[in-house]
Amino acid sequence: MTARWERLAAPVEGTVACGPNRHRLRWQAGTLRALDHAGDEAIAARLGEDEPECLALCRRWARYRHDPRVLVLGPRHPGDAVGLGPGLLERLRQDPAGDDDRAALLSLLALEPALQRRLQQQAAAGLAAPAGGSVLPALEAATVGRLRPVLDRWAGRRDWEVTVGEAGTDPARPAAVRVGPEWLAEVWGNYLAVVAGHLVLQVLDADRGRTRVLAVAAPGKPPRPLHVRGPAPWRAVLDPADEP
Amino acid sequence: MPAGERHLRLLLEAAVDPHRAPADPEAELAVAGDALAAVGLVDPALARQLLAELRLALALRRDPPPWPLPAGRAPAAAARPVGGAPEGPRAVALGPLAVPTAGGTLGVLAVSVGADGATLHAALDPDGGTVEAAGGRRPAALARGPQTRRARAGAPAGTRAPAAPAPPGTTRQVTPGRDTPGGALRALELTGDGGPPAWVGPVGRAGTAAGGWRLACPVDGLEPATAGVTVRLGGRPVGRLAAVAARPALAGREHRRRPAAVWVAGALDRVASGAGPGPVGAGVRALVAAGALDPGDPLAHQAALLDDLGPGGDTSALDARWRSAVERRQAPAEVTGAWAVGAFVDLGAERVRFDAVHAGPGGLWLLGACGPAPVSVAAYDDRLNGYVLAGPLAPVAGAAAWRLVPELDPAASSLRIELTGSTREASVEVRLR
């Protein structure tokens, strides 16, 4: 069964340098695929032949898609540029304490931003899976770190009190915002955080092209359901009856 | 555990956000991780991992980034000496005797004698770095016809070591002296009153810091009941050290302080004396956020004051204990001297022996022995000055030396050495005059 965040997430393509060429990578339904390599190349690589960069990236994706470090190192918002500059790469190669693990992880952070966001969604979704009713600190911190810039843009910079739990707001404390543990994978990852001036706290339904979210119009206001239509850029649907 | 990890991860998130990042995000996270690890609210390995991840996250956001990752900001690990635990108190024959040699000045600081053996504590000033060390090289040979100089009488007594030739904080293997022809220490002969001659045994490790090399080595054949020790070099007497009787063994008492308060007090000492990184406020906030420290604790207030104190700032609002340390940093004074201690402390899982205290320009050296279990060591004088462990620890089999900073306050008349083990603590008083 496809997870809800995967149903909301549109397929994404990017290109990477692979030998002398630029090849395409495609993410869809939780899997990264190399579009310009035949399947037998992967088999040949497993048998010892040189592995093309595209296939190596797909293999690393499968390995790191649930690694919390993806959320620590990856960009928090579109303006948060993460770059593997030539200086950094050179120092990484020369670092005696460096290891293949870190280099492999960083190679994924050099992918195009849309692919990086899907990687973060996968990592967050893995952490949001029920863990005895508690929210893992890694997911909570990653959610806070991504929601605060959203709140700044939505209603201006202030000392936001962000917590992860049952989605909601507190009329007595307008700066207090609570979102669910799935917020990062379902809302933030799909560019759904703010729609038509509303802050989206939670996805309620995502079936047959209809998406219903819990959203607030302004700080301290009570949340209410809102129908939206996507993919990004999402727009609010004022009369759901008009939707196909 | 989750509360500590949660705080560190939230701190990391704030550090990556340019609108919310503190002035020194790495120091904030390092101090907070140190504090939470000290009270058991976070795994030290996780704290180090998060610090490394923060550095990498910041490096990815700027070019050129700091790579390879700088060392030295990781949460401090507990000092862990090597060697066997001491078995009981010892009498101490107190130096120092300064012996100029061809290769540098050899200082005989103290000789401790007990039922479990004898140990020579010595200092070497290489005079340009000619002390032989490591890889089969030999200790410097002594000049013929040694010159000696007695320590000044009274307190502070002793000789003042020349400036340190070696970088601080290093520890190197020194070639065993006894089996080495021409070795400086091989020529040293120690004789207890009425007893047979004894010679210095193999040298294990030497620590270097401000004040030169520090050595501790066993002495074979020295009588336990000796009242004094005569030192000869190449057959010629160079001085006699009067022995001070050992104190009765001291048993430690159970901890009374909360771990968080212990950490904050220690961090305040380190920051005030300039021995540790700031800001300590990051650690206090971490402990408060994790529920380990009451925000109304006076220590939290002192931490905030100390964090805000710039160079030459007004110290009047600080508690005397930290005010004094800050003022001494601003106007340091040099004191040299040596005092016999002869104390043995039993902390249950840990046993520590202090033979002597040696003060110099580089700080205070506590000479003694301890087992492999980590023990926290600090000291305070009667003027409420704090002295904190700065290392290096210079241990050999059955001996160790702790270096405390800053330098001794010239006006201090007594010193209280505080020991904190895993379950027990104890303090030893030393009269300075």
Identify the pLDDT of residue B421. 77
The dihedral over CA atoms of B81, B85, B90, B94, expressed in degrees to the nearest 10, equals: -10
| Cβ contact, residue pair A72, B57, below 8 Å | yes
Check whether B100 has a pLDDT greater than 60: yes
Taking residues B375-387, report their average pLDDT.
Answer: 79
Which residues on adjacent β-strands are paired with residue B229?
A: B192, B241
Nearest-Cα distance to chain A for B291, in Å, is 16
- Is A81 touching B (CB cutoff 8 A)? yes
Residues from B contacting A (CB-CB < 8 Å) are 2, 5-6, 9-10, 12-14, 16-17, 19-20, 50, 53-54, 56-57, 59-61, 63-65, 67-69
Average pLDDT over residues B251-262: 76
* Nearest-CB residue to A141 (from B9, B59, B63): B9
pLDDT band at B396 (very low <50, low <70, confident <90, very high): low
Closest partner residue to B5 among A81, A88, A137, by Cβ?
Answer: A137
φ, ψ for residue B208 (rounded to 5)? Answer: -115, 145
Lowest model confidence (mean pLDDT) among A106-110, B10-14, B373-377: B373-377
pLDDT value of position A1: 67
User: Does A97 contact B at CB distance below 8 Å?
Assistant: yes
CB contact under 8 A, B12 and A82: no
pLDDT at B370: 84
Find the residue in B nearest to A69 (Cα). Answer: B53
| Nearest CB neighbour to B56, from listed A73, A94, A138 | A73
Model confidence at B50, pLDDT cuts 50, 70, 90, reads very high
pLDDT of residue B9: 95
Region of poorest pLDDT, from A139-153, B77-91, B323-337: B77-91
Q: Is B61 in Cβ contact with A72 (below 8 Å)? A: no
Residue B247 has a pLDDT of 87
Residue B138 in this model has a pLDDT that exceeds 50: no
Compute how many other C-beta atoms are within 10 angstroms of the C-beta atom of residue A212: 17
Nearest to B53 among A69, A76, A149 (CB): A69
pTM above threshold 0.80: no
pLDDT number for residue B143: 30
Determine the Cα–Cα distance for residues B106 and B238; give it in Å rounded to an integer.
12
Q: How confident is the model at residue B66 (pLDDT cuts 50, 70, 90)?
A: very low
pLDDT value of position A96? 62
Nearest chain B residue to A94 by CA distance is B68
Asked which of A93-102, A194-203, B199-208, B292-301 is least confident by mean pLDDT, the reply is B199-208
Burial class (CB in 10 A: 0-12, 13-18, 19+), A93: exposed
What integer pLDDT is reported at residue B345 of this predicted model?
A: 93
* Residue B404 pLDDT: 84
CB pair distance less than 8 Å for A145 and B69: no
Q: CB distance B61–A137 less than 8 Å?
A: no
Task: Inform me whether the pLDDT recorded for B339 exceeds 70.
Answer: yes
Q: Do A87 and B65 touch (CB under 8 A)?
A: yes
Higher pLDDT, A204 or B97: A204
The rounded mean pLDDT for chain B is 72
A contact test, residue of B8, B19, B46, B60 with most A CBs within 10 A: B60
Q: What is the pLDDT, as a whole number, of residue A208?
A: 65
Q: How far, in Å, are A118, A139, B226 from residue A194 at the CA level?
A: 18, 20, 84
Whole-number pLDDT of residue A235: 84
**What tokens were used for B19?**
């609108």
Residue B103: per-residue pLDDT: 60
Share of chain B above pLDDT 90, in %: 12
Query: Under an 8 A CB cutoff, do B65 and A91 touch?
Result: yes
pLDDT lower than 50: segments of chain A: none
**For residue B36, what are the contacts with CB-CB under 8 A and spacing of at least 6?**
B4, B7, B8, B42, B47, B283, B286, B287, B290, B292
- What's residue B135's pLDDT? 26
Q: Residue A123's pLDDT is what?
A: 94
Q: Output the average pLDDT for chain A.
A: 86
Comparing CB atoms, the residue among B10, B54, B56 nearest residue A144 is B10
Contacts with A81 from chain B: Cβ below 8 Å: 61
B84: number of Cβ within 10 Å: 14
Q: Tell me what the mean pLDDT of segment B245-249 comes to.
A: 87
Q: Which segment, B20-29, B104-113, B221-230, is predicted with the most confidence on average?
A: B20-29
Query: Tell me, what amino acid is at B238?
Result: V
- Considering only residues B124 and B130, tell me which one the structure prediction assigns the higher pLDDT: B124
Contacts of A157 in chain B (CB under 8 A): 19
A141 contacts on B by Cβ (under 8 Å): 6, 9-10, 12-13
Query: A153 — contact with chain B (CB < 8 Å)?
Result: no
Binary contact (B16, A145; C-beta < 8 A): yes
Residue B152 has pLDDT above 60, yes or no: no
The per-residue pLDDT for B70 is: 31
Mean pLDDT, to the nearest integer, of B358-362? 82
Which range among B63-67, B91-95, B158-162 has the greatest average pLDDT? B91-95
Of the given ranges (A9-13, B21-25, B143-147, B274-278), which has the lowest mean pLDDT? Answer: B143-147
Least confident of A22-36, B42-56, B206-220, B336-350: B206-220
Mean pLDDT on B337-348: 90
Residue B19: its chain A contacts at CB < 8 A?
Answer: 152, 157
Helix A53-64 / helix A39-46 crossing angle, nearest 10 deg: 80
- Owner of token pair 């002495």: B219
Residue B11: closest C-alpha in chain A: A141
Specify the DSSP element, H or E, that contains B170. strand B170-173
Q: Who has greater pLDDT, B225 or B396?
A: B225
Taking the Cβ of residue A205 and every Cβ of chain B, the question of whether any pair is shorter than 8 Å is answered with no
- Test the B interface: residue of A71, A80, A88, A188 with most B CBs within 10 Å: A88
Share of chain A above pLDDT 90, in %: 44
DSSP letter string, B66-102: --SPPSS-SPPPPP---SPPP-S--EEEEEEEEEEET
Of the two residues B128 and B109, the one the predictor is more confident about is B109
Chain A residues inside the 8 Å CB shell of B41 = none
Q: Please tell me the distance in Å from B62's CA to the nearest CA on chain A.
A: 8
Q: What is the mean pLDDT of residues B294-304?
A: 81
Q: Does A131 touch chain B (CB under 8 A)?
A: no
User: For A113-127, B24-38, B153-167, which range has the lowest pLDDT when averaged over its residues?
Assistant: B153-167
pLDDT value at residue A151: 95
| Residue A110 three-state SS | coil
The four Cα atoms A62, A68, A69, A73 give a dihedral, to 10 degrees, of 100
Per the model's pLDDT, the better-predicted residue between A88 and B432 turns out to be B432
Query: Is the pLDDT assigned to residue B373 strictly greater than 80?
Result: no
Strand residue runs (E) in B245-349: 250-251, 253-254, 337-346
Identify the band that residue B167 occupies on the pLDDT scale cut at 50, 70 and 90.
very low
If pLDDT is split at 50, 70 and 90, which confidence band does B202 have?
Answer: low
For residue B382, the model assigns a pLDDT of: 81
- Alpha-carbon distance B132 to B147, whole Å? 21
User: Which of A222-226, B93-97, B391-395 has the largest mean confidence?
Assistant: A222-226
For residue B222, the model assigns a pLDDT of 83
| pLDDT at position B190 | 85
For range B199-203, the mean pLDDT: 68
User: Does residue A156 belong to the interface with chain B, where contact is any CB pair within 8 Å?
Assistant: no
- Provide, as residue numbers in chain B, all residues whose Cβ is less than 8 Å from the Cβ of A140: 6, 9-10
**Residue of B9, B11, B50, B63 best to disrupt the A interface, most CBs of A under 10 A:** B9
Q: Give Cα separations from B295 to B25, B159, B285, B300, B301 (angstroms).
A: 22, 47, 8, 6, 8
Using the beta-carbon criterion (under 8 Å), do A148 and B5 form an inter-chain contact?
A: no
Q: Does the beta-carbon distance from A152 to B19 stay under 8 Å?
A: yes
pLDDT of residue B132: 33
